[in-house]
Amino acid sequence: MALHLTRPFLRPSPPPPRPTRRSSRAHCLAPSASARGPSFRRPYTSVLVVPTGVGAAVGGFAGDALPVARALGAVADCVISHPNVLNAAMLYWPMPNTLYVEGYALDRFAEGSWALQPVHQNKVGLVLDSGIEEELRLRHLQVADAARASLGLPVVEYIVTDTPLEIKTWFDPKCGKSTGSVGNSDSLLRAVEALVNRSDVNAVAVVARFPDDDPEDSDCYREGKGVDLLAGVEAIISHLIVKKFKIPAAHAPAVLPPVLSLSVSPRSAAEEIGHTFLPCVLAGLSNAPQYVMRRNGNMDNGCIVASDVDSVILPKDACGGDGTIAFARTATKNKPLIITVQENETVLDDTPDKFNIEALNVQNYWEAIGVIAAHKAGINPNALRRQGIDHLKSSLRLYPAQNRGSRKSACSPPQEKLYTHELVSSQPPPRLISEHLPAGDPPSPLSRSRKRRSFSKEEDELLLKLHALLGNRWSLIAGRLPGRTDREHYITVATSPSTASPSAKRSS
């Protein structure tokens, strides 16, 4: 049987045109940049923060803020976030344009003392608490082997601490967030130091044995209602390592598998499907950026610095962290847009107004990502709202050049208004404006050649109205005063000792 081909198949198609050579490389964290064609804008960088152990409605459970990070990664060129957002126990999601940064390092980055250097891979070391039971320890070693064999992750060696870490957990009675202590923190640091010195690891995963949860607290968290009791100490453990060794670190708790329950919330379900929370930690650390200190080399050489950040997203009532305050106090020229999310409630009460933080509040992460899209496009987000744009206003006042030179500084509006009143009231006794108007109905302005020696009462009122409307554009004001066009007269009066402003007298 013969196969008859239609003309489109018989006719060879012309070769596709060769792509034009780009004059600049796409950012390493913007893999889709080449598909969009040549771009003359720098990459857009956004920081996503959900504090650990504060019962966040989104991000306070088992990786339930990960969808937010994924959506944000589709809009921003580079996303910077931390393990509490990106970890989901047995689940994780690789995102090429997302940087996995430990919380303490993120604060130092925001302050400008540390920079982030993207890498292709890290040599990951594993620290196991000697307080972990043998069977549970074996489970975690099997996870590490599976990550090496099935994912190709560079986990190079593990070590067991010389003494149990003795983890304790509790809730802070002041605010309700989770916290705790590491009884033998020195043992933890000795184990990390041995890995760093012996195996040259540059990222560390820690598995510590946590006490079994109180059933009441555990059930509340599993149902998606409470605060994660383990999260506060997890942050303490990683902070200890990063602060001393200045390398990426993250923690996975070792706990006994929970009893099967039908009331588990989808937000907590990622912690129900395995014996360990280690897979997401190993995946995140495998290509987490390295931390570069300001005193070590050139921070701008392939590094991302705080001034590169364009926006920061976080819960509205969790704005008291060191990193958030540091971003908010950045120089005005490089200050990022801070977006607070009303819907993501926590047990904290650290709202932006308490820290004098200028923030844009949105209701949910839908709106937040929409604001990011507008901000990246160079569009005022208010332009997307009904009646979001008001009339253009000016808070600046410029003064004309005077015989003594231009004013060194502008007065505030109340001072300027007072100065104008002083200037008007210091003139000789006024003459009625009607005396200077020619006959006719309506009266026409005096000729531009006529000089005036004083301001009349009517001119006084008109002068103030025109000044409120036109500011310090005295030539326009003079042109609108009947017969009042000699700008030199105003300058002479303004610079005379009898009418100079108090500030001008003090400066002289």
Q: Tell me the pLDDT tens digit for each residue of 418-428.
A: 766 666 566 55
* CATH number, residue 42: 3.40.50
Looking at the structure, tell me whether residues 379 and 493 fall in a common domain: no
pTM for the model stands at 0.72
Residue with the bigger pLDDT between 448 and 337: it is 337
Residue with the bigger pLDDT between 252 and 398: it is 252
Residue with the bigger pLDDT between 487 and 306: it is 306
- The one-letter code for the residue type at 315 is P
- Least confident stretch, 36-50, 383-397, 430-444: 430-444
Q: Once rounded to an integer, what is the mean pLDDT over residues 1-30?
A: 46
Residue 237 lies in a domain: yes
Crossing angle of helices 413-425/457-470, nearest 10°?
160
pLDDT tens figures, 26-44: 455 544 444 455 567 889 9
Q: Is the pLDDT of residue 483 over 60?
A: no
Residue with the bigger pLDDT between 25 and 106: it is 106
Q: Is the pLDDT of residue 274 over 90?
A: no
DSSP annotation string for 373-441 = HHHHTT--GGGGSTT---------------TT-S-SSPPPHHHHHHHHHHHHHTSSSP--GGGGSPSSS
Q: How confident is the model at residue 447 (pLDDT cuts 50, 70, 90)?
A: very low
Residue 390 lies in a domain: no
Q: Once rounded to an integer, what is the mean pLDDT over residues 217-233?
A: 87
Looking at the structure, tell me whether residues 257 and 303 fall in a common domain: no
How far apart CA 492 and CA 427 sit, in angstroms, is 12
pLDDT at 9: 40
Q: How confident is the model at residue 437 (pLDDT cuts 50, 70, 90)?
A: very low
Residues sharing a CB contact under 8 Å with residue 393, sequence separation 6 or more, in sequence order? none
pLDDT at 433: 41
Among residues 219, 248, 277, the one where a domain terminates is 277
Among residues 248, 277, 306, the one where a domain terminates is 277
Q: Is the pLDDT of residue 440 over 50?
A: no
Residue 392 lies in a domain: no
Q: Once rounded to an integer, what is the mean pLDDT over residues 123-142?
A: 96
Mean pLDDT computed over every residue of the chain:
81
Q: Is the pLDDT of residue 224 over 90?
A: no
Residue with the bigger pLDDT between 388 and 116: it is 116
Residue 22 lies in a domain: no
Domain coverage including residue 142: 124-277
pLDDT at 435: 42
Residue 60 lies in a domain: yes
Q: Is the pLDDT of residue 192 over 80?
A: yes
pLDDT at 380: 92
Distances (CA, A) of 121 to 201, 202, 283, 284, 288: 11, 10, 10, 10, 8
Domain count, the chain: 3
